[in-house]
Amino acid sequence: MLKSLKTFHVMAMEQIEDSIFMFANRTKSTYFTRKTAKMTFLDAIYFILKGLRRTLQIEIDHWFEFLGGENTMTKQAFSQLRKKIKPDAFMQLNETLKWFYSVMTLKDSKIKIPRKIFQISLACQFREGIICNCS
């Protein structure tokens, strides 16, 4: 199970960090091209997948603190940035997650996995009125 979990983690990271994934999942070809942007495509994806536990502004501030930067951004700026990412990005990641669960065996599922590992909720992201149904 742990080997499978590491395999899934590596696969998801490779998928997210692939430049083709960024090119295919931004709404306009000029988005996420500046190297001086406060939040890159990768940072935005990882931040969204991390999930929120507190208010958005507090989470944004903690994210930039985690990255070691002195900058931060407003909720409005983040909302505009989020609109630049197609919902298909999360649907593709959800497909990777569904594949991972489909190849797990019952024997593997005896190992209890801490919930914190799966706090990155790849399933059912709400974006611009489009709902990805997990079935």
Q: Where are the domains of the chain?
A: 2-131
Predicted TM-score of the model (pTM):
0.68
What's CA 32's distance to the chain center, in Å?
16
CA distances from 75 to 59, 78, 126, 128 (A): 10, 5, 17, 16
Res. 122: pLDDT tops 90: no
Gyration radius (Cα) of the chain, Å: 16
- Confidence at 125, pLDDT banded by 50, 70, 90: very low
Supply the pLDDT for residue 112: 53
What's CA 90's distance to the chain center, in Å?
7
Res. 94: pLDDT tops 60: yes
**Which residue do the tokens 């983040």 mark?**
78
What's the average model confidence in pLDDT over 44-49? 90
